[in-house]
Structure 1
Amino acid sequence: MENFALIFVALIIGYIINKRDIFPKDTPIILNQFILYISLPAMALLQIPKLSFSFEVLIPIIIAWLVMGISALVIFYISKILKFSKEITGALMLVGVLGNTSFVGIPVIQAYFGDSALPYVLMYDQLGSFIMLSTYGTFISVYYSSAKDVDVKAIAIKIITFPPFLSLLVALFFIGTTFHPVITSVLSSLAGTIVPLALVAVGLQLKFKLPSEDVKPFFSALGVKLLLSPIIAILISFIFSWDNQASMVSIMEAGMGPMITAGAVASMAGLAPRLSSAIVGYGVLLSFLTTWILFKLIQL
C-alpha cells in the first residue's frame, strides 16, 4: 500500500507543479537525465549481480522483442485497414508499441513483486525496450517523418554509449558477487531516487487533450498497448511453459502504458504531437488499473 501511495502522490505532485509553473519547463528533461545517468546505472549495478546464470535471465528479453515485434505488425495493419494518415501511423507505431518499462515499470513491479523482481525489469527494459527505442524507434521516426536515410552507425554508437546499457553490461560480469556493505549502501541510496524522480517527471509531462477526430487512433494504440501486448506475453509464456517470476514480470512489463520518451520522439518528428501526448497521458494513468487487473489474472 505504501508503494502505491508513493506512486500516486508523486504523479500528482508532478502534475500540479506543471500546471502551476513552479519549476522550469525543462525540469522533466533534467530529472530524466539524472535517472538515466545516475539512478538506473546504480540500480543495474545493485540488482543484476543478484541474478544467477540461467536461461531464466533471457526470458524477459525474448518476451520483450516478440511482444513489441508482433504489436508493431498489428498496429501497421490496423492503420492500413482504418486508413490512417502516414503521420498518425508513425505516431501509433511508436506510442502503441514501446512501453514505459522503466520510469513507471520499476515502481509498479517493485510494488507488486518486491526488489527480487527488479533484475528482470532491467533486462526487459535495457535489452528490450531501450534497444527497440534506439533502433526501431529511430527508424520509424525518420521513415514516417521524412525521406532521410537511417544512420545505422549513429544508432549503434548511441546504444553502446548509453550509461544504463553500459552499467548493465558491467553488472553482468559481477553476477554472483557480493559487494562491500559501503558500496551496496551507496548504490542503494542512488537507486532509491528512481521511483520518486521518475514519477514526478511523468506527472510533469502528462497531457490529456483529445479532439474527436483522434478517437479511432487513440483507442487503437491503447488497445494494442494495454490489452493485446500483455495477452501476447501470456501466450508466449504458455506456449513455452514459462511459469516463474521472470515470465510474470515480463507479462506485467508488456502491459505497461506507452513510453513517454516514445511520445517525445513522435512529437519532435512531427508525428501527430497532440495525439501522441494524449495517448501517453491517458495511457499511463489507465495502465495502473490494467496492470492491477493483469496482476490478479496471472496470480490465478
Structure 2
Amino acid sequence: MENFALIFSAIFIGYLIAKADAFPKNTPLILNQFILYISAPAMVLLQIPKLTFSFEVIIPVFIAWVVMSISALAVFYLSKLFKFTKEVTGALMLVAVLGNTSYLGIPIIQAYFGEGALGYVLMYDQLGSFIALSTYGTFISVYYSSAKEVDIKALSLKIVKFPPFLALILALFFIGTSFNPVVESVLSSLAGTIIPLALVAVGLQLKFRLPSEDLKPFALALGIKLILAPLIAIVLCYIFSWNSKAAQISVMEASMAPMITAAAVASMAGLAPRLSSAIVGYGILLSFFTTWVVYNFII
C-alpha cells in the first residue's frame, strides 16, 4: 500500500506543479537526465549482480522482443485497415509498441514483487525497451516523418554511449558477486532517487486533451498496449511452460503503459503529438487497473 501511495502522490505532485507552472518548462528534461546519468546506472549496478547466470535472465529479454514485434505488426496492419494517415500510423508504431518499463515499471513491480524483482525488470527494460527505442524508435520516427535515411553509425554510438546500458554491460561481469558494504550503501542511496524523481517527471508531462477524430487510433493504441501485449506475454509463458518469477515479471512489464519517451520522440518528429500525449496520459492512469488485473491473473 505504501508503494502505491508513493506512486499516486508523486505523479499527482508533478501534475500539480505543471498546472501551477511553478517549475521551469525543462524540469522534466532535467529530472530525466539525472535519472539516466545517475539514478538508473546506480540501480543497474546494484540489482543486476544479485541475479545468477541462468536461462531465467534471458526470459525477460525474449518476451520483450516478441511482444514488441507482434505489437508493431498489429499496429501496422490495423492502421492500414482503418486507413490512418502516415503521421498517425507513425505515432502508433511508437506509443502502442514501446512500454513504460522503467519509470512506471520499477515502482509498480517493486510494489507487487518487492526489490528482489528489479534485476529482471532491468533486463526487460535495458535489453528490450531501451534498445528498441534507440533502434526501432529512431527508424520509425525518421521513416514516417521524412525521406531521410537512418544513420546506422550514429544509432550504434547512441546505444553504446547510453549510461544505463554501459552500467548494464559492466554489471553483467559482477553477477553473483557482492560489493563492499560502503559501495552498496552509496549505490542504494543513489538508486533510491529513481522512483520519486521518475514519477514526478511522469506527472509533469501528463496531458489529456483528445479531440473526437482521434478516438479510433486512441482506442486502438491502448487496446494493443494494455490488452494485447500482456496477452502475448501470457501465451508465450504458456507455450514454453514458464511460471517462474522472471516470467511473471516479464508479463507485468509487457502490460505497462505507453512509454513517455516514445511520445516525446513522436512529438519531435511531428507524428500526431496531441494524440501521442493523450495516449500516454490516459494510458498511465488506465495501466494501474490493467496491471492489477494482470497480476491477479498470473499469480
TM-score, normalised relative to structure 2: 1.00
Which residue of structure 1 aligns with residue 253 of structure 2? 253
| CA distance in 2 between partners of 1:12 and 1:130 (Å) | 26
Say whether residues 1:165 and 2:165 are aligned partners.
yes
Q: Hey, what does 1:102 align to over in structure 2?
A: 102
Which residue is equivalent to 2:263?
Answer: 263
| Deviation of 1:221 (Å) | 0.3
Cα displacement (A) at 1:268: 0.3
Partner of 1:131: 131
C-alpha distance in structure 1 between counterparts of 2:76 and 2:128, whole Å: 20
Pairwise CA distance, 1:147: 0.2
Q: Distance in 2 between matches of 1:76 and 1:220?
A: 11
SS in 1 for 2:110: helix
CA distance in 1, matches of 2:144, 2:296: 38
* Structure 1: unaligned runs, 5 residues or longer: none
Offset at residue 105 of structure 1 (A): 0.4
Matches within 5 A, 1:198-237: 198-237=198-237
Deviations 1:213-255 (A, max 9, x none): 0000000000000000000000011111111010000000000
Counterpart for residue 62 of structure 1: 62
Q: CA RMSD in A?
A: 0.4
**1:2 to 2:2 alignment:** yes
- Measured after TM superposition, the shift of residue 53 of structure 1 is 0.5
1:72-109, CA deviations, whole angstroms, 9 ceiling, x for partnerless residues? 00000010000000000000000000000000000000
Aligned residues: 299
**Is 1:26–2:29 an aligned residue pair?**
no
1:115 has 2:109 as partner: no
Residue aligning to 1:87:
87
* Equivalent residue, structure 2, for 1:188: 188
Distance across 1 between alignment mates of 2:4 and 2:115: 15
Q: Counterpart amino acid of 1:30?
A: I
Counterpart Cα distance in 2 of 1:236 and 1:24: 44
Deviation at 1:194, TM superposition (A): 0.6
Aligned AA (1:156): S
Matched, 1:51 2:80: no
- Paired residue for 1:146? 146
Report how far residue 68 of structure 1 moved.
0.1
Instruction: Give 5+ residue unaligned stretches, structure 2.
Output: none
Mapped partners of 1:273, 1:237: distance in 2: 35
Deviations 1:12-59 (A, max 9, x none): 000000000110000000000000000010001000000000010000
**Residue 277 of structure 1, CA deviation:** 0.4
* Partner secondary structure for residue 39 of structure 2: helix
Aligned AA (2:97): V
Give every structure 1 segment of 4 or more consecutive aligned residues whose post-TM-superposition deviation is greater than 3 Å.
none
Letter of the 2:84 partner, please give it: F
Q: What secondary structure is seen at the aligned counterpart in 1 of 2:97? A: coil
Could you tell me how far apart the structure 2 residues matched to 1:31 and 1:206 are? 15
